[in-house]
């Protein structure tokens, strides 16, 4: 929470029912103060100026201007913490990923029907994510052009034959703010990297689309992981939402195990599950990076990697949207190096030589 005062929230939502339900959720917790509501972005724009909220909750589909267009303008002209709250449809899933790229801190998927019956289940999630967003470091997002990947690029060439680096692999874990951070790192990496395994806290459906977004703008071959898939050079695989992912080994090298295990640290997928398995299977041949995110998931796993002699990196406070996960790793002595986000890709490339 911001000092000892209440977190001032502005709700931007075109549905009167949703505005009522969101207001009730925040009014049930004395940590929050609803400073206002707005039914469309034009009203919201004026209320932001007049009321100066700490956090904005924002819907995707609204009249006069959609939420993504509004967010893009907001983050360019007046960056502030935003939590997206929208229904889980294919269209809105794409839009939510775009919102995260533009700088939204996090998102909550609201039920498509029976809103009053199901919305109570999301009350804790909404309050937790808005509370977290109030502590986030938000700045204007400067979008960089994606690297050009031609039809004859190395994505179409088996890298195993050209770069026999199967003994090495990279593991990356992140939560809130991680979609931006992972995108920033992967877009700087060439196609001849060791295999990369990624856990980003996201629910089902979002991880596949996130991988597709990454694949379109990276030289690496990025996809959602499947059980039994070999992790080869030139590949980056994202753990599916709602499932756990671990590293195992067979006679041919590293293999990804994707399975329906219990939540660890309240997360499925969990960064700790991946990193503990990497420590056991790859040892000093691995590099681990723990990025921005709330909580402590991944800290113990990074410590286990550190103990094997692996290179372990934690994102620094200044460049983290939420410093929780890397901070916990640093406090445990799990990070050999603490680096700003803009330096992590270069360190990965240096380590991979």
Convert the pLDDT of each residue in 130-162 to its tens digit: 999 999 998 776 655 555 444 334 454 444 433
Give the side-chain half-sphere CA count within 13 A for 44. Answer: 29
Gap between the Cα atoms of 163 and 317, Å rounded = 35
**Which one from 54, 106, 297, 327 is the annotated catalytic residue?**
297
pLDDT in tens, 25-53: 999 899 999 999 999 999 999 999 999 99
Contact at 8 Å (CB) between 169 and 194?
A: yes
Gap between the Cα atoms of 177 and 329, Å rounded = 17
Query: Sheet holding 221-224: strands in order across?
Result: 221-224, 235-238, 195-200, 169-174, 286-290, 311-315, 337-339
**Number of other residues whose CB lies within 10 A of the CB of residue 284:** 13
| Report field, pTM of the whole predicted structure over 0.85 | yes
Residue 175 falls in the annotated catalytic set: yes
Tell me the mean pLDDT in the region 227-235: 96
pLDDT in tens, 186-229: 999 999 999 999 999 999 889 999 999 999 999 999 999 999 99
**Which one from 87, 175, 270, 320 is the annotated catalytic residue?**
175
Of 322, 325, 324, the C-alpha closest to 312 is 325
Gap between the Cα atoms of 71 and 78, Å rounded = 10
Contact at 8 Å (CB) between 218 and 225?
A: no
Residue 319 falls in the annotated catalytic set: no
Give the side-chain half-sphere CA count within 13 A for 176. Answer: 30
63/142: higher pLDDT: 63
Residue 78 falls in the annotated catalytic set: no
The structure tokens listed for 33 are 């103060």
238/90: higher pLDDT: 238
Q: Diameter of the chain by CA atoms?
A: 64
Q: Is the peptide bond before 235 cis (omega within 30 degrees of 0)?
A: no
**Which one from 201, 213, 267, 276 is the annotated catalytic residue?**
201
């Amino acid at each position: 929470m911001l000092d000892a005062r209440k977190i001032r929230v502005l709700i931007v939502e075109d549905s009167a029912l949703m505005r009522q339900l969101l207001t009730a959720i925040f009014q049930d917790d004395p940590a929050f103060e609803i400073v206002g509501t707005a039914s469309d972005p034009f009203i919201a724009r004026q209320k932001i100026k007049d009321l100066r909220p700490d956090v904005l909750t924002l819907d995707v589909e609204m009249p006069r201007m959609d939420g993504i267009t509004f967010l893009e303008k907001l983050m360019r002209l007046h960056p502030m913490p935003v939590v997206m709250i929208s229904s889980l449809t294919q269209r809105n899933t794409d839009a939510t990923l775009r919102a995260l790229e533009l700088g939204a801190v996090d998102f909550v998927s609201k039920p498509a029907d029976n809103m009053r019956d199901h919305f109570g289940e999301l009350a804790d999630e909404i309050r937790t994510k808005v509370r977290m967003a109030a502590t986030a470091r938000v700045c204007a997002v400067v979008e960089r052009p994606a690297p050009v990947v031609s039809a004859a690029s190395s994505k179409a060439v088996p890298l195993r034959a050209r770069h026999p680096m199967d003994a090495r692999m990279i593991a990356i874990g992140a939560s809130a703010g991680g979609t931006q951070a992972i995108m920033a790192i992967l877009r700087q990496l060439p196609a001849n990297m060791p295999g990369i395994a990624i856990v980003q806290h996201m629910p089902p459906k979002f991880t596949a689309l996130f991988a597709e977004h990454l694949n379109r703008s990276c030289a690496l071959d990025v996809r959602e992981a499947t059980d039994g898939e070999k992790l080869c050079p030139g590949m980056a695989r994202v753990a599916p939402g709602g499932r756990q992912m671990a590293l195992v080994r067979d006679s041919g090298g590293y293999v990804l195990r994707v399975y329906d295990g219990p939540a660890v640290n309240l997360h499925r997928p969990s960064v700790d599950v991946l990193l503990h398995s990497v420590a056991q299977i790859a040892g000093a041949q691995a590099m681990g990076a723990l990025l921005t995110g709330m909580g402590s998931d991944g800290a113990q796993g990074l410590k286990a990697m550190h103990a094997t002699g692996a290179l372990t990196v934690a994102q620094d406070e200044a460049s983290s949207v939420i410093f929780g996960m890397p901070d916990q790793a640093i406090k445990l002595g799990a990070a050999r190096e603490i680096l700003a986000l803009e330096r992590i890709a270069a360190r990965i490339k240096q380590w991979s030589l």
